[in-house]
Structures are given as C-alpha cells and as structure tokens.
C-alpha cells in the first residue's frame, strides 16, 4: 500500500507506518536536519525538502494513505493556542492535499490541546470539509503508553476514510500495563560508561515518563519541558534541566540527565535510528516525533480496513458459473 507523509519530521510516524506495511512514495519536510535524518536512515525513501504550501498532490493521486503530524504549536497548551489564526497552522494545506490526492484514508496527528473545547468548532469544520470530499471519520485521544511506549504522551488523532472503508475500521486495542518503566527502558544506556549506581537508579525510576517536549525553533531548548514536567522527572531520578552528551561515568554522583539516545528510546525509536544535526536540533526532532509503535498500531488497523473493503468489493464481483443442461455449456454472470 502506498502513502504520502507530510510534515514528516524525523520519521517516527513514517517508520511506524512502514513497519505496518505502507510504502512511502513521498515524504515532505522543510527542516534540513530532519530531511538528513530521513535520508540517512532510509536512503530509499523519496524525501522532498520543501514547504508544504509548495507541495502538489496530483502526481500521487489515488494512494491508499495520506498521513502526517501537522505543526502542534497552534494548539499546544504550552503556547498561545491561536489555532486557525496561527500562521503555523497547516491543516488547510492538509485539506488541500486530500482534495488533490484523493487517498483512501487520512490520518493526522497533533497534540491533546486540539481536542480542547475552544477548538470544537474548528474540529467540526475540518470534518465537514472532509465530508464534502467524500470522507467520514472521527477524532480520538490516545495515550502512547497504551501501545507499549514508556511515556504518557496523549495525542489527538484524526482518521477519516471513504465510507465503504471506514465501516471496517477499528481503533487498535491498547496493551494495558505492558509498557516498561523508565528504569527498565534505560538501565543499559545509563550504565554504558560503567556507572556503578545504574541498577540502583533503575529500580527507583519505576514509572513511565511524562510527555517528552521538543519545543519549537522559536522557543524551548534541549531540556525535558516546562517546570511541571521537570518535577515529574525528578520523581523518576532524572535531572530534566538539560540533555547530557553522554551517560554518567563510573563514579558519577547525583541525579543524571538523559542523552538524546535515551530520549529517542523513550519515544519508541530503535537504537539504530540516527538523528542529524547538533544536540539541540537533534533533540527537537526526537521530542516532536510521533512514537513509531503508536503509528504502527494505527497503521495496521488502517491497512486492515482497506483490505477488508477491497475483499468485499471483489467478492461482490465474483464470477459465477451456471451449467445449462440443454446446451451443455456454462453461462457466466457477475454477482454475489
């Protein structure tokens, strides 16, 4: 199944969808470092380094899926929540591409804030616009920890499909309490330089992480988020005021900081995934990513719905043979 990925970032969503069985025919991203990340990790992907406003969807008409994580800053509780009045709101561009590409399904991911009551009219407007284009679907709030990611990370997900496909769609079932703790997830990385207290630290870091916050180019640096988030990290034995260059050394004393590799693992990236750029640009890519395991779980369900609809369509056009006793021949008709 073919897909187009917009606002691809460092590839968290694209990776998860690829594992689910989607072949990306185009990935659109305007950040140079993120594009380098995508090209380095998946040189076979067609990465288009350009603004979404300049991307034309007609060459990709008819792909199975249009997916992306449009900028979250217009809806984030950490910002001004200007919504559609924010110049960074790219949902109108996503709607334009739906009209140009006419995919079988669409998945857009954003922050929890998009589901706030103040954006209810905007959400209904988006659904109405998509309905005019022949799609039905719904918004839903999901927690990444329900899909094996060791952090809360609530996200708003919009999934719409052609009506004959959406009736077969089911949201993925969560895995309950199967997510590892921060300590279980990072103990080997914390002990990579021989830190004597790594195992003791891991036992105390016995909860899942708060939401990783990547910040934006205008605001936020390489740290683990606002004051409230930093306090929750302290409970887990982590200093969230910055990002370390490497794991604690053998005789380290005090509260360790996470490295980018540690943050990436908490986000659900495989250890083999490399991020381009210096520490802060790399951290922003990681912190703003959609966890690959969540994208995979959603992608599998989207793919299954499309397959079921296609199988049903084929069965309705099944060729039936009827034997004519008089002429000793078979007559063919199409039907159920």
CA dist., res. 258 & res. 245, Å (int): 8
Buried b (16+ CB within 10 A) or exposed e, 178-199: ebebbbebbbebbbeeebebbe
Does residue 295 contact residue 13 with C-beta atoms inside 8 Å?
yes
Catalytic residue among 14, 72, 202, 205: 72
35 in catalytic set: no
What are the helix (H) ranges across 42-90? Answer: none
Radius of gyration of the chain (CA): 23
Q: Which residues contact 144 (CB under 8 A, 6 or more apart)?
A: 151, 152, 153, 154, 155, 268, 291, 293, 294
CA dist., res. 201 & res. 86, Å (int): 42
Q: Which residues contact 31 (CB under 8 A, 6 or more apart)?
A: 9, 285
Does residue 61 contact residue 39 with C-beta atoms inside 8 Å?
no
- Apex 100 CA angle, 18 and 129, nearest 5: 100
Cα–Cα distance list, 155 to 69, 114, 146, 304 (Å): 10, 9, 12, 22
CA dist., res. 38 & res. 285, Å (int): 11
CA dist., res. 12 & res. 18, Å (int): 10
**H helix or E strand, kind and range, residue 16:** helix 12-20
Does residue 17 contact residue 289 with C-beta atoms inside 8 Å?
no
CA dist., res. 176 & res. 295, Å (int): 17
Which residues face 109 on adjacent strands? 157
The residues assigned a catalytic role are: 72
């Amino acid at each position: 199944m073919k897909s187009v990925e917009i606002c691809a970032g460092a590839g968290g969503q694209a990776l998860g969808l690829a594992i689910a069985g989607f072949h990306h025919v185009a990935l659109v991203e305007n950040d140079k470092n993120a594009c380098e990340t995508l090209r380095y990790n998946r040189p076979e992907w067609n990465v288009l380094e350009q603004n979404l406003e300049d991307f034309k969807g007609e060459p990709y008409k008819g792909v199975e899926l249009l997916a992306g994580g449009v900028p979250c800053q217009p809806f984030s509780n950490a910002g001004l929540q200007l919504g559609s009045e924010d110049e960074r709101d790219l949902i109108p561009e996503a709607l334009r591409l739906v009209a140009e590409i006419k995919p079988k399904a669409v998945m857009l991911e954003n922050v929890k804030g998009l589901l706030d009551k103040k954006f209810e009219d905007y959400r209904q407007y988006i659904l109405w616009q998509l309905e005019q284009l022949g799609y039905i679907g719904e918004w839903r709030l999901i927690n990444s920890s329900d899909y094996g990611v060791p952090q809360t990370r609530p996200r708003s997900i919009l999934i719409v499909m052609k009506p004959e496909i959406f009736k077969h769609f089911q949201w993925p079932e969560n895995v309950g309490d199967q997510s590892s703790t921060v300590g279980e997830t990072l103990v080997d990385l914390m002990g990579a330089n021989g830190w004597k207290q790594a195992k003791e630290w891991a036992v105390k870091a016995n909860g899942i992480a708060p939401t990783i916050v990547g910040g934006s180019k205008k605001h936020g640096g390489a740290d683990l988020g606002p004051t409230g988030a930093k306090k929750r990290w302290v409970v887990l034995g982590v200093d969230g005021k910055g990002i370390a260059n490497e794991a604690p050394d053998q005789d380290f004393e005090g509260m360790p900081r996470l490295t980018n590799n540690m943050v990436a693992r908490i986000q659900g990236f495989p250890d083999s995934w490399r991020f381009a750029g210096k520490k802060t640009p790399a951290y922003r890519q990681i912190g703003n990513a959609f966890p690959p395991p969540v994208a995979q779980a959603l992608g599998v369900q989207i793919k299954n719905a499309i397959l079921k609809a296609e199988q049903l369509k084929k069965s309705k056009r099944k060729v039936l043979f009827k034997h004519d006793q008089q002429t000793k021949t078979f007559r063919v008709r199409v039907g159920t």
